[in-house]
């Protein structure tokens, strides 16, 4: 029986690439989308099932679970960003960023963990950010949420390790995604200059590490950076 993986934020960027790469490697993939399913309707004969849901809502995630059922691997990737001074961030914007980026990790874990605990087997891979580790100017809410994911990962790994469940975190650096589309050519050039490996990362770079963690049997509670040395 093929192992199953549930990926949030899978309609674009890193999440979409993770869904595609896992399917190509023999996994049965459930790919969650919220507002934009277009890319998930064009995946050919890959074993990817698109599921609609709101990661910030427990009721929505419980409904999604009724469709998906038990999974072997949970990948929490869904995220939104906001660029601007903290004094200009509204309370609603702050709450939304925390809900989608951090609360979602709690909700999906709450829904999918019981089956893993019963089986004494499972893996949770959370996607944070380099800014969760070092902070990003004018991205305070995003950085705070991503830092929360790091703390969540480390604590949950200790809690569910005795049940045979591994919990790890990937912290990407600058990745070529729609979220970074606001960057000018000059901004990108400066970021490349600050990256020891001399390039911006791709979603495939992150997906490759996720695949590795999905197969590993002795790594847990770790934060692994994929950023070409950016800000390290």
Q: For residues 25 and 12, what is the distance between their CA atoms, to the nearest angstrom?
A: 19
Asked if 42 contacts 91 with a C-beta cutoff of 8 angstroms, the reply is no
Alpha carbon 218 to chain centroid, angstroms: 21
| Rounded Cα gap, residues 211 and 21, in angstroms | 8
Residue among 33, 105, 119 nearest 71 (CA): 119
Catalytic residue ranges:
142
Please give the Cα distance from 208 to 145 (Å, whole number). Answer: 24
């Amino acid at each position: 029986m093929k192992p199953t993986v549930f990926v949030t934020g899978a309609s674009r960027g890193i999440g979409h690439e993770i869904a595609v790469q896992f399917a190509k490697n023999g996994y049965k993939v459930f790919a969650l989308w919220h507002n934009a399913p277009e890319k998930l309707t064009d995946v050919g004969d890959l074993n990817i099932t698109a599921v609609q849901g709101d990661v910030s809502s427990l009721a929505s995630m419980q409904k999604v679970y009724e469709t998906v059922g038990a999974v072997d691997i949970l990948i929490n990737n869904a995220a939104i960003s906001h660029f601007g001074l903290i004094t200009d961030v509204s309370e609603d914007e702050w709450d939304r960023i925390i809900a989608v980026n951090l609360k979602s990790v709690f909700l999906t874990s709450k829904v999918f963990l019981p089956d893993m605990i019963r089986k004494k087997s499972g893996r949770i891979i959370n996607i944070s950010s380099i800014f969760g580790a070092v902070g990003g100017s004018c991205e305070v809410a995003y950085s705070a949420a991503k830092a929360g994911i790091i703390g969540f990962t480390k604590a949950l790994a200790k809690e569910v390790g005795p049940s045979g469940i591994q919990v790890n975190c990937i912290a990407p650096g600058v990745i070529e995604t729609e979220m970074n589309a606001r960057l000018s050519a000059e901004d990108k050039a400066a970021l490349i200059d600050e990256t020891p490996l001399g390039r911006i990362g791709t979603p495939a770079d992150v997906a490759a590490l996720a695949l590795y963690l999905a197969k590993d049997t002795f790594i847990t509670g770790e934060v692994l950076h994929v950023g070409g040395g950016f800000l390290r």
